[in-house]
Chains A and B, each alone.
Chain A
Amino acid sequence: MTGEAGAAGPVEVAKEPVGPEGPKRAKDPTGATEPTGVEAFATRAEQDGYRPSERRLAHEAYRRSRARRSALIATASTVLTAVALYLLVVNSPGWEVTRRTFFNLDYARQALPEVLRGLRLNLELMLGCGVLILVFGLLLAVLRTLRGPVFLPVRLLATAYVDFFLGLPMIICLLVMITGVPALRLTGVTTDPLLLGGAALVLTYSAYVSEVFRSGIESVHPSQRAAARSLGLTNAQAMRYVVLPQAVRRVVPPLINNLVSLQKDTGLVSIGGAIDAVYAAKIIAAHSFNFTPYLLAGLVFIVLTIPLTRFADWLTGRMNRRQLQGGAV
């Protein structure tokens, strides 16, 4: 049966293109040359006798000259700005001292291995916390969309949680966790500042991320849910198969931005005494009175985040392009 359908298909499809091409081919021989195969394809532009008009050539020449001018202006402006900034910094009264204490290559070389060893901790924290944050954030967002009287306390709790941790400064949350929890002397609860610091990150960031997820869920048009419900899907099924997949896709770029922000904030865990990149730099700076290690640690973080932000940009751009290409929904 499928064989038959398959056989019938191509025949019909093959017929169609012949129609429109037929007249074209018939016209071609009237032209002077009769190219075949690949040549015919390559010289299609010449075949229909098109030659760019004077007007088009003039327009293109003008556009090229404008583009050259723009490039020149951009280069000049960039160079001027860089020189101005350089002169401003170098001519400032304290530059010599600053250069010695912040830009000392010897100390940088000495600190690099320590900072990188500390960075490992930051990366582990980011990955570990990142996964937990995504899970909790999504959970919180979904809990807040639950309908029905049974879920009222759940909704209230989730809302209160998000409100609380959105407003609470990160550093206070960290201090409370790292110093407050051990002070409770609870048995079976860790006093490891690293774990407690990580927990503080998860607590705060879950609130941020849940808001991102929630905005994604709300951005899915109600008609999608109506379509799902009218197919007989329950509320939960409509959420799982129709709303969430679209919502999550839309919030990937802002989530990456949150990840970048999280990566920086892992440096705050050092206030509890865990030796991360920032703390490693602090140790060296403390016995040398040179701040170059701090700058180095900062640079290392920047180098890590740039690819992530560029990736988020690229992803956003790609999604925008796809949307501009159309698509009814």
Chain B
Amino acid sequence: MSGTDVLRLESVRKTFGSQVVLRDVDLAVPEHSVTALIGASGSGKSTLMRCVNLLEGIDDGAIFLDGSEITDPRADVDAVRRRIGVVFQSYNLFPHMTVLENITLAPRRVHGVGRAEAEARALELLDRLGLAAKAKEYPDRLSGGQQQRVAIVRALATGPRLLLLDEITAALDPVLVGEVLMVVRDLKEQGMTMVLSTHEMGFAREVADRVCFLDGGVVLEQGPPEQVFGDPQEERTRQFLSRVVASGRLQG
């Protein structure tokens, strides 16, 4: 885990009106590492992701991508987004495009890759995820799990530096969750730097190098998964985890 941090947040503050959504959030994501954000709904996980992707502006603090500040008002927003891949909870595939067109849109229009090359690369990625046969299908002909895997391929197609996965299994039934998580496991093997928010605690424990517990917009506790799950220091973390265990999402 040597080398620089791909992503670093320094005392980030974000408010919606009078409501403080993120309060002094510090976070460092080293290269080739996976960081899992856990916490109850409304704890600020999604907002944090949206801030990193500059879909939301922040009120105070700074976010750095590869050492340069992206929250600087002079930063080129489009250039930043080109280096970050995002996968959303609701897939957000483009319904009027085939799977292949969905994936090749950004490489062709943003990165200026030729059509043949973009399609070859897309097919290679699809093939690796067992979706090559679906290349010519429209998204509404695919299952939720397949759509989400296509969304992952779409985010990967531009060769991003960092991948943000925002509760990507929340809209899927338990059977489909497995096939999507398998893909994330593979990506970790390949050394992709990722930040993911999830309610799948078992998965977070397995795949994450660092777990970060958000509560009321504050990073209450962070550390290796064995520590956060096995020996939580904070009372709130213990409460949260015991509720999760009770709901059957994590073996006690």
Contacts and interface: CB of A to CB of B under 8 A. Distances in A.
A329 B133 contact: no
A224 interface: yes
Given A223-B90, A246-B96, A327-B95, A231 B106 contact: yes
Interface stretch (A114-122, A234-242, A308-316): A234-242
A232 interface: yes
Determine the interface band of chain B, counting residues with CB < 8 A from chain A.
20 to 34
B141 to A, nearest CB: 8
B237 interface: no
A91 interface: no
A328 B144 contact: yes
A231 B154 contact: yes
14 contacts: A226-B92, A228-B105, A230-B55, A230-B81, A232-B82, A232-B106, A232-B158, A241-B105, A242-B94, A328-B91, A328-B139, A328-B144, A328-B147, A329-B92
B53 interface: yes
B173 interface: no
Contacts of A228: 94, 105
Given A9-B133, A229-B81, A232-B81, A224 B109 contact: no
A5 B81 CA distance: 34
B204 interface: no
Contacts of B244: none
B132 interface: yes
Q: Interface centre among A224, A227, A231, A329, by most B CB within 10 Å?
A: A231
Given A230-B81, A231-B105, A224 B140 contact: no
Contacts of B106: 231-233
Contacts of B95: 246, 327, 329
Interface string B65-91: 000000000000011011011101011
A233 B55 contact: no
A326 interface: yes
B140 A227 contact: no
A249 interface: yes
A329 B110 contact: no
Contact of A328 (B84, B90, B154): B90
A107 B100 CA distance: 62
A180 interface: no
B78 A227 contact: no
A128 interface: no
Interface string B124-152: 00010000110000011000100100000
Given A327-B140, A328-B147, A329-B95, A231 B90 contact: no
